[in-house]
Amino acid sequence: MAGSTFGNLFQITTWGESHGKGIGVVVDGCPAGILLCEEDIQKFLDRRKPGQSKFTTQRSEEDAVEILSGVFEGKTTGTPISMVIFNKTQRSADYSEIAGYYRPGHADYTFDMKYGFRDYRGGGRSSGRETIGRVAAGAIALKMLSMMGISVHAYAKEIGGIAIEETDLEECFRNPFYMPDQKAAGKVAEYAEKKLSECNSMGGIIECVIKGMPAGAGEPCFEKLDANLGKAILSIGAVKGFELGSGFEAAKATGLTNNDVFRMENGKIVKITNHAGGILGGISDGSDIVFRAAVKPTPSIAALQDTVNKSGENIAVSIKGRHDPMIVPRAVVVVETMAALVLVDALMINMTAKIDKIINFYKE
């Protein structure tokens, strides 16, 4: 409840601060028998690694994961999987200055209000590095989903107000923005260059599409699949909004335009449109699940900003250090992995929805 644990049957607990000894996660409830090695995790961590282009922070973090428990003879054992990523550089010198004031747009002030003091080095627990544990755990969830024929793909839909016009998923890996549209990515590069030179930063929108999800996952009331996806995504540091399917556009629509009609197609029930975004009444309907997250601009900027210090004086500051001018590209994999955690948990819970399924399970 203190908030570092997420999920029910597939449950993760993350720990670690930006400049502490390391960052880690414990995955409890992972089923036994999954082939798992560090490379399965590492490839996802590498996608959120900084320093991949001039548009993400130039810090060189080598986030190498180590599996400490829960895997034996190459397979998960069903007992907790503990993973750690030791922080290679714990240089705290850069941060001594910010110990004394509250950075605008950061959690410095609220941490002090809540706890009385804070680990000010690099944002401590509120740093973006906190997501490393999420990604490591979510990588296992993604592997499980892929074994079940379910894919989860996120990408930058919009950065600095520049939106994609096509969705070529392979293009994502060819530009530094994780944008599935080469042309849009070009415009973003230009815009980002300009903002960088102004010591400024920019926001954007991440879209996520889930294919192959069976109907029936999610619970009717408070544990709706979309409510849990929303919580998962809104719990990522810089996310300020979440919408499913038509989302905020649905507010302007009418029932006739927004309802997705059902039709028979090759002997199967399908929806002709997908304004609902793949979830009806909180339960997956078998069509693609589509959602978007609004990501704010990086709050750490070198441009001069007003703020107050701990002595209660008005001051002006320029946040030094190597910061991302935009959060979106590195957050894409965080969105994918958080979504995967929600889906796996919902699929596991859904196994107990019908009595005949339970009886059959134990008959075998």
Site residues for its own copies, window 119-158 (CB under 8 A)?
119, 121, 124-126, 130, 144, 147-148, 158
Would you count residue 298 as binding its own copies (CB under 8 A)? yes
Would you count residue 50 as binding its own copies (CB under 8 A)? no
Closest CA to 233 of 264, 257, 210: 210
Which 210-269 positions form the footprint of its own copies (CB under 8 A)? 214-216, 218-224, 226-228, 230-232, 234-235, 237, 240-256, 258-264, 267, 269
Would you count residue 300 as binding its own copies (CB under 8 A)? yes
Q: How far, CA to CA in Å, does 3 sit from each of 15, 57, 117, 217, 239?
A: 10, 28, 18, 24, 17
For residue 276, the number of C-alpha atoms closer than 13 Å in the C-beta half-sphere is 21
Q: Cβ closer to its own copies: 15 or 42?
A: 15
CA 32 to mean position of chain CA atoms? 25
Segment near its own copies (CB under 8 A), from 24-32, 37-45, 165-173, 176-184? 24-32
Binding letters toward its own copies, positions 336-355, x by CB under 8 A = -----------xxxxxxxxx
The angle formed by the CA atoms of residues 168, 169 and 174, to the nearest 5 degrees, is 95
Which 82-111 positions form the footprint of its own copies (CB under 8 A)? 82, 84, 102, 104-107, 109-111
Instruction: Give least dist CB 154 to its own copies, A.
Output: 15
Closest CA to 341 of 64, 45, 143: 143
d(CA 320, CA 217): 46
Instruction: Give least dist CB 169 to its own copies, A.
Output: 21
Instruction: Give least dist CB 79 to its own copies, A.
Output: 4
Q: Cβ closer to its own copies: 50 or 123?
A: 123
d(CA 34, CA 141): 11
Contact 119, 20 (CB under 8 A): yes
Task: For residue 242, give both structure tokens.
Answer: 């979440």
d(CA 169, CA 173): 8
Would you count residue 74 as binding its own copies (CB under 8 A)? no
Would you count residue 26 as binding its own copies (CB under 8 A)? yes
Size of site (CB under 8 A) for its own copies: 164
Binding letters toward its own copies, positions 169-208, x by CB under 8 A = --------------------------x----xxxxxx---
Contact 84, 66 (CB under 8 A): yes
